[in-house]
Amino acid sequence: MSVDAQLIEHMMNPKNYGTLDDANTQGMGKNPENGEKVAIYMLVANDEDNPYVAEVRFQAIGCTTTVVAGSMLTEEVQGLNFQGVYDLVEATMGFLDKLPPEDAACSEMVALAIKAAVDTYKERIVDPDYPMITYKIANSCTPKEEAS
Amino acid sequence: MKKTMVKIHEVWLEMLMAGFMSNTRNREVLLDFSDILFRHFTWVEHALILSGVSYTYDREAIPVKVDKLSDLLHDIMQRLSTIKVEVLHFDDKELSGRIMSDIEYIISVLASMEDEVVTAFNMQRKLSDISLTQEATDALTLFLFEETYKEYELILIYNYLKAHSNNAYMNRIFQILIDESFYHLKRFGDMGAQMGILGVPRTVMKELYQVTDIVQFLEEGINEELAAKEECKKLSDAVSKDSTELAKFFDFINYQENYHIALMKDALKYYKRENNE
C-alpha cells in the first residue's frame, strides 16, 4: 500500500469503526484462507418506501489495509439507497484487479460485507429470523510472487 | 460496574496516549498513571467476574487529537471525576476506596502539570536524528499502525484469559506476555508520536479474546509470532541502510519474539497435558 496523507488519516482515525447498538441488519465478509473478516452493522431507515443506509459501523479482524478500506467504503455508503449501495459494491469489485492482491482481498472483504448487510435486511423483510449473511471473498491475500 | 469498567478502559488508553504525546518529564508520570488505571480496569473486571456479570471489552472511540497537552488532561480529569462518583457505589468498599484515593491523587497531579505543545499528530513522519528513505518511512508507518494495534489486542486477549483462569502455571505465562506486549506497545506508541502519526488502537472484536479453543488459539498465536518476526526482519532490512540504530531496535524486538514463542509452546504443552489432549 502506498502511503499518503489521506491514508494516514484513515489509519489514525478509522471512520465508523465499532458496533452500532440500534443496527437493524448485519453482514459479514470473510477470507476463508486466513480467517480474516469484516463485520458490518447497519441501521436502515425508510424514506417513502425507499430504504437507505442511515448509519453504518464496521469491525475487522484483519490488517491495517482492511481497516482503511472499511473506513473509506463506510463513509461512501452512508446515506445511499440500496441501488446506490449495489452500485458502490459493483464499482469496488470492478476496481480490484488494479490493486495489489493483498489490497484487493481487503477491499473485496469490506464490499461484500456491505452487500451482505443489505441482502440480510431484504431477507428479513420476509423472514425476521433470517440469519446474518456471510460472503466469502474470491481474491487471495497472498501476493502473487509468494503464491506457488 | 460494567459501564464503569468501560470508562476506566477508555481513560487508561487516553492516559497512555497522553504519555506518548509528552516530550518532557511529564511523560513518565503519565505512563505510570496509565499503568495504575490498567490495574483498576483489571480489578473491576475481576469484581464483575466474581459477581457473575458478563461483559465485553467494547468501548467508544477516544478522540485524542489536541494541539496542547492540557486539553487532553482536562478531558482525562473530567472522565476520572465521573468514574470516582460511580466507584463510590461499588459494594466492595475496599476496592472503591483504593480507586477513589488513586483518582484524587492523579487529578491533583494532572491539574498542576506543565503544558506542552503536541506534535504527535503533525504527520511529518520523521524520527529525530534519523533520516529514512520514502520506502523505509512507508514501511515503518505501516508497521507501527499494524503492530500498535496488535500489541493492544494481545494485552486484552491475555488479560481476558488470565482473568478467567485460576491456573497459576498458565497465568504466569499470560502475565509475562502481557508485560512484554506493554513494552512493545509503549515503544511503538512513542515512535508513532515522534513520527506525528499517533492513533488510538481500534477496539478488539470479542471473538478474538473470548477464546473458546485455547489449543487452536495458542497454535495460531505461535504462527502469528513467527509472522511478526518476519515483519521485524523486513523492517530491520528496510531501515538498515539509513539507521543501524533503528535496525538494531527491530532486531531486538525480533529476538524477543523467540521467547514469546517458547512461552506459548510451553503453555500449549502444559494445557494439553492437563486436559489429556
The answer to whether residue A98 sits within a structural domain is: yes
The CATH code of the domain that includes A17 is: 3.90.1010.10
A145, part of any domain: no
Average predicted confidence (pLDDT) for chain A:
89
Sheet of A133-136, strands arranged across: A50-61, A37-47, A25-30, A133-136
Give B 172-201 residues with CB within 8 A of chain A: 197-199
Residue holding cell 462518583? B85
d(CA A132, CA A119): 9
Smallest Cα–Cα separation from A75: which of A58, A94, A99, A93? A58
* Chain-chain contact of A18 with B141 (C-beta, under 8 angstroms): no
In a domain, A65, yes or no: yes
Mean pLDDT of B53-73: 95
Q: What is the pairing mode between strands A25-30 and A50-61?
A: unpaired
Residue partners of A138: CB distance under 8 A and separation at least 6: A108
Q: pTM value?
A: 0.91
**Confidence class of residue A141 from pLDDT cuts 50, 70 and 90?**
low
Residue B151: per-residue pLDDT: 94
For chain A, the domain total comes to: 1
What local confidence, expressed as pLDDT, does residue B133 receive?
87
Which is more confident, B126 or A2?
A: B126
Question: Is pLDDT of B67 > 60?
Answer: yes
Q: Please report, rounded to a whole number, the percentage of residues in chain B having pLDDT higher than 90.
A: 78
The closest CB to that of A8, out of B123, B207, B208, belongs to B123
Which domain, by its residues, includes A23? Answer: 5-136
Instruction: Identify which of A17, A59, A64 has the shortest CB distance to residue B145.
Output: A64
Residues of B in contact with A13 (CB under 8 A): 61, 65, 199
How sure is the predictor about A147, in pLDDT bands with cuts at 50, 70 and 90? very low
For residues B100-127, give the mean pLDDT: 96
Question: Quick check: B253 pLDDT over 80?
Answer: yes
Q: Which of B58, B76, B61, B57 is nearest to B19 (CA)?
A: B76
B201 pLDDT exceeds 50? yes
Tell me whether residues B121 and A18 touch, CB distance under 8 A.
no
Residue of A nearest to B57 (CA): A18
Determine, for residues B149 and A3 on separate chains, whether the beta-carbon distance falls below 8 Å. no
A95 or A133: which leads in pLDDT = A133
- Res B131: pLDDT: 85
Model pLDDT, residue A148: 35
Q: What CA–CA distance (Å, rounded) separates B69 from B64?
A: 10
Q: What angle do CA A15, A16, A18 make, to 5 degrees?
A: 125
Q: What count of Cα atoms within 13 Å lies in the side-chain half-sphere of residue B53?
A: 12
Could you tell me if B213 lies within 8 Å of chain A, comparing CB atoms? no
Q: Provide the 10 A C-beta neighbour count for residue A32.
A: 10
For residue A42, tell me if it sits in a domain. yes
pLDDT at B96: 96
At the top level of CATH, the class of B120-277 is: mainly alpha
Residue range B17-56, pLDDT digits in tens: 999 999 999 999 999 999 999 999 999 999 999 999 999 9
pLDDT (0 to 100) of residue A144:
46
Mean pLDDT score, B217-237: 88
Q: Where are the domains of chain B?
A: 1-118, 120-277
Domain B1-118: give its CATH architecture: Up-down Bundle (1.20)
Q: Kindly determine whether residue A18 and residue B58, on different chains, have CB atoms separated by under 8 Å.
A: yes
Q: Choose, out of B145, B150, B219, the residue to mutate when testing the contact with A (most A CBs < 10 Å).
A: B145
**Mean pLDDT value of segment B58-81:** 96
At B184 the pLDDT is 94
- Chain A residue numbers with beta carbons less than 8 Å from the beta carbon of B60 are 18
Instruction: Closest CB to B61: pick one of A11, A17, A61.
Output: A17
* Overall average pLDDT of the B123-128 stretch: 89
The distance of A127 to chain B (nearest Cα, Å) reads 27
Residue of A60, A40, A43 lying closest to A52 (CA atoms): A43
Q: Do domains B1-118 and B120-277 have the same CATH topology?
A: yes
Q: At residue B265, does pLDDT exceed 90? A: yes
Closest CA to B99 of B4, B16, B17: B4
Asked whether the predicted pLDDT for residue B11 surpasses 60, the reply is yes
Least confident of A1-15, A69-83, B194-208: A1-15
Alpha helices (H) in B121-243, listed in sequence order:
134-163, 168-195, 206-209, 214-240
Cell numbers for A126, please give them: 420476509
pLDDT value for B228: 84
Closest CA to A1 of A67, A89, A91: A67
- ipTM of this predicted structure: 0.83
- The per-residue pLDDT of chain B, averaged, comes to 94
**Lowest mean pLDDT, pick from A119-123, A125-129, B223-227, B260-264:** B223-227
